[in-house]
Amino acid sequence: QVQLVESGGGLVQAGGSLTLSCEASGRTLSRTAVLAWFRQPPGAAPSREFVAAVNWRDGVELSYSDSVKGRFTISKDNAKNTVYLQMTSLKPDDTAVYSCAAASTLLRVQRREMYNYWGRGTQVTVSS
């Protein structure tokens, strides 16, 4: 199993920055291939939107959604088994619960059904 714990959410003004962390642990962590961030905006149907993904084994960025490309950066700290999501130029539309997820395959990294493990999420609120 893999446990994922997010932190770093909060309230920020539009145009500001925030960095989220996702610490991973567990017996089967070595089988992880991809770690990604998803988000669920308030009031939306229970469906998570893909944000960004990183290759867990070598830390190479794999993919970003068009809505965050150029503003968000995903990275991995190997020593801490932690993945970060640096968010800049934040917009009110970025308001959501951000969750990290782990998958054991590099296929279709933007598809939430490919992920086996999920964290509980951290709230990000961007005020206008």
**Could you write out the DSSP letters of every residue in 65-92?**
-TTTTTTEEEEEEGGGTEEEEEE-S--G
Q: What is the mean pLDDT of residues 26-47?
A: 90
Rg of the chain over Cα atoms, rounded to whole angstroms, equals 14
Strand order in the sheet with 82-87: 3-7, 18-25, 82-87, 72-77
Q: How confident is the model at residue 35 (pLDDT cuts 50, 70, 90)?
A: very high
- Given a cut of 80, whether residue 87 has pLDDT beyond it is yes
Amino acid at 103: A
Task: Using the predicted structure, report yes or no on whether residue 45 has a pLDDT greater than 80.
Answer: no
Q: Nearest CA to 33 among 50, 49, 53, 63?
A: 53
- Cβ contacts of residue 48 below 8 Å, gap of 6+? 38, 39, 40, 99, 112
Q: Fill in the amino acid letter for 95.
A: T
Tokens 């782990």 — which residue? 102
pLDDT band at 42; cut points 50, 70, 90? confident
